Every structure is written in structure tokens, then in C-alpha cells.
Amino acid sequence: MSAANPRVGLAVAILVGVLLTPLLWLLGRARRSAARPWVIGGHRGRMLEDNSGALYEWVTANTSQPILWIADSALAEQLQGEGKPSLVRSSWRARLAIFSAPVLIYSHGDDDLDIVMHLWRGLTGRRYYLNHSLNVFKAGNAHTPEYQRAGALKRWGLRRTMTDFDALLSSSPFEAQFFRLAFPHLADRVLPNGGGAHLDGFIQLRQTPAARHVYWFPTHRDDDDGNTGLQKTLQEILTNETLRDWLLQNQFTFRIGTHINTGDHHLNVQPPFELRTPVTIKADLAAADVLISDYSGLVANFMLFDRPAISFPFDCEHYLRHRLLYTRIEDLATGPICMSVHELVQTLVNGHWNDDETSRARRADWQKKLFVHSAPVYAGECYRTICRLQGVATQERP
């Protein structure tokens, strides 16, 4: 297959979606009813590891509510093989389901469901945005340097490219305040509850014992220079003999998590280092003795396990040229802050990452702000909130 074929396929999907819009709208309006399946997606159909995925799994397991996951072809085939309802993204059947559905749900953006969803705003059923994880650290949308510097006309244009929704469900009032910063033009559509379905999976793993793993999750960088710097830092970590010796002597494994947008970083990884995939994130956090992170919201998720964490924002100055943070690194950090590979290695080797009374107290304070429930009830509340907003009865099984 030539390198051009994927681009041709993308262009055809866009063209067909545009040309079919009038027909899809007419058929959808005629078919749409409360009894039609809800349509849900996340990560642009590539994986289930987010709020949408957690809600989809809960609804299919606990209710008789018809619901369809929109997936890429590989994931759709997997889900269908497991007997779970799914359609291939940008297919005719998926597009007709979108226009017929009373409820559309997504976690990253409208285009989780279809590549031309931006063009169908105002033509479909009610839209619910769940965000993909906890939104308390790394900012986006209107809360970015680009948007803050823009004039009125450019801001108007930028808002046209942002995620649109009829309601945004937050996991807590604390998280809701940051969503309102990200979407000031839609602030009245942000709800202070009903979100955070993915937290159930972490809560269910809280009793998992630590298994002598250091887990580093470097988040995605938004520019080539940032990714080049990340690649250099990864190589420094993997070739640091002091770190390698400490890991071997103490029987630790150093796990490197990968973001779905960065892949495997083209790394050659050998023990005691391991490269992990995005689908193992929950299990990796649950088994970690210590988390190393930079700007990822996973630093907040990890607080559910009540274990040590190291902040490693080695490229902070460069990163903040492209992104803003809702919460200062110094405020969210509950343990050491390391600005270089040398500092990180020394912190691990010297045992300075281990908890002290101050770290535990700071973590307890954050837990109160972040998590309104200690039991895995977030997905169920999300489902009930959508039913309430739709004015329909729930269909939970006894």
C-alpha cells in the first residue's frame, strides 16, 4: 500500500460525509426517537481507556439501554467479536446511527464519532462531552497561550474549531471550574457532576499491592522541538548507568508509559526498563511504587492509590510556551520536583521519593478536592445524569 492511500481514503471519507449530509439529516430526523441507540466514542475510535469507554462498558453491562461504540475497524471487529455493539467510524451505518441517535457522547471531541462531525453541529441529537480524563492540570481549548494572545476575530475563529456540546459533565465542582476556563463561551453548559466515569476503574484497583515498579508517564508534546527534547530525555534515562544499577540492585522495574499520540517513541528498551502501552495505564498505576509524571492528569488519578509521586517537568519553560496549566506544578506536586535527569536519578537512588508526613498530608488535601466518591459509582451517575437531562427513564437491570 502506498503512503498516499491513507490520505486518499481520508479525503474520500470527508467528501462522502459532506455530500451525504442532506440525505443523512432527512433520514435521521425521520428515524430519531428516544428508543434509538445512543452513539458514543472516544480517542477517535482507537481505544476504550477514557470516560466514554468506561461509560460504554458500564451501560452495556448494567442496563438495557441500546448503545453503539464508534470505533476504527480493528477495535470495531474486536468489540463485535465480544458481542458488544459497535460500528466502524465514518461508515454509512455509523453515520446514519449518528443522525438517528437521541444522544451523542464523546470524550476528546466531536470527531471521536466522525471526521466531519464539526459540519453537523446543530443537525443531530443532544451532545454530551465527558472529556477523556481528569481535567485539573494540563489546560487546553480557550485556556492556551495562543487563545490568550489572540484578538477578538481570531478568538471567534478558534472557538469554531473547539469541541462543541450541549452539556459537559464534570467529575466534581473542583474540576468544573477548570472546564469553564477552557470553554468560557459555553460555561453555562458545564455541569458540576455526572462525569468522571473512568475513575471507577482506578477505584476498583485501589487495593492492588505495589509490585516494585517505577512508572514514568511522559505526556504528549505539542510541537517538534518538544518531542525532540522528550526523545533526548528518554535516551538519557535509558542509558543512565547509575539508575540501571539501582534498579537491578533493588529489583525494581522502570516502566515507561506511552501516550496514544506518541506511540513507542522508536525506543529499544531492555530490562530493567519496560515500554508500556496506553491500554495498560490503570494496571501500571495500580502496581507502581512511585509515579513519575510531568503535566499529565494521571498525577491526579494516582492520588487514589495514596503512594509517592515525583514531578519531572524537565522542559517546563518550553512546554508553557504552547500550553497553560490550571494548577501550578508546585501546588499539585505532593513529592519531589526534579528538573533534570540527574536530579531524578539522585532522588530515586537516595530514597528521597519515599513518603514523609508532609507528602501524605498534601495528598490527603488533594483527595478531598478531586474525588467526591470513594466507591466506583461515577459511571452509573453519568448514565443517570444523561437520562435525567434527556427526560427519559433509566433502564438499569435489577
pTM: 0.94
Residue 358 is part of a domain; what is its CATH number? 3.40.50.12580
For residues 192 and 279, membership in a common domain is answered with no
In a domain, 60, yes or no: yes
For residues 239 and 331, membership in a common domain is answered with yes
For residues 384 and 340, membership in a common domain is answered with no
In a domain, 6, yes or no: no
What's the CA gap between 130 and 109, in Å, rounded?
9
In a domain, 339, yes or no: yes
Q: Please, which contacts does 107-110 make with residues 24 or more away whose CB atoms are closer than 8 Å?
A: 107/41, 107/42, 107/43, 107/50, 107/51, 107/52, 107/53, 107/131, 107/132, 108/42, 108/43, 108/44, 108/50, 108/132, 108/163, 109/163, 110/163, 110/164
In a domain, 13, yes or no: no
For residues 128 and 178, membership in a common domain is answered with yes
Residue 64 is part of a domain; what is its CATH number? 3.40.50.11820
What's the CA gap between 287 and 215, in Å, rounded?
9
For residues 211 and 329, membership in a common domain is answered with yes
For residues 195 and 219, membership in a common domain is answered with no
Question: What integer pLDDT is reported at residue 6 of this predicted model?
Answer: 65
What's the CA gap between 250 and 218, in Å, rounded?
23
Any bridge partners for residue 275, and if so which?
A: 256
Side-chain half-sphere of 195: how many Cα atoms within 13 Å? Answer: 29
* Ramachandran quadrant class, 73 (left: phi over 0; alpha: psi -120 to 50; beta: rest): alpha
Indicate the residue type of 20.
Answer: L
In a domain, 3, yes or no: no
For residues 310 and 194, membership in a common domain is answered with no
For residues 275 and 316, membership in a common domain is answered with yes
Any bridge partners for residue 104, and if so which?
A: 39, 127
Q: Residue 286: name the closest of 223, 211, 375 by CA.
A: 211
For residues 353 and 210, membership in a common domain is answered with yes
Q: Count up the domains in the chain and report the number.
A: 2
Question: What integer pLDDT is reported at residue 41 of this predicted model?
Answer: 96
For residues 69 and 58, membership in a common domain is answered with yes
Ordered per-residue pLDDT tens for the chain, 398 residues: 344 566 777 788 889 888 999 999 999 999 999 999 999 999 888 888 899 999 999 999 999 999 999 999 889 999 999 999 999 999 999 999 999 999 999 999 999 999 999 999 999 999 999 999 999 999 999 999 999 999 999 999 999 999 999 999 999 999 999 999 999 999 999 999 999 999 999 999 999 999 999 999 999 888 899 999 999 999 999 999 999 999 999 999 999 998 777 776 778 899 999 999 988 999 999 999 999 999 999 999 999 999 999 999 999 999 999 899 999 999 999 999 999 999 999 999 999 999 889 999 999 999 999 999 999 999 999 999 999 999 999 999 98
Residue 347 structural domain: 205-370
In a domain, 11, yes or no: no
Q: Which residue is listed with cell 477514557?
A: 50
Q: Which residue is listed with cell 481535567?
A: 135
In a domain, 8, yes or no: no
In a domain, 332, yes or no: yes
169 CB-contact burial (10 Å; exposed 0-12 / middle 13-18 / buried 19+) = buried
Largest CA distance in the chain: 68
For residues 217 and 283, membership in a common domain is answered with yes
Calculate the dihedral angle through the C-alpha atoms of 94, 96, 99, 104, rounding to the nearest 10 degrees: -20
For residues 288 and 331, membership in a common domain is answered with yes
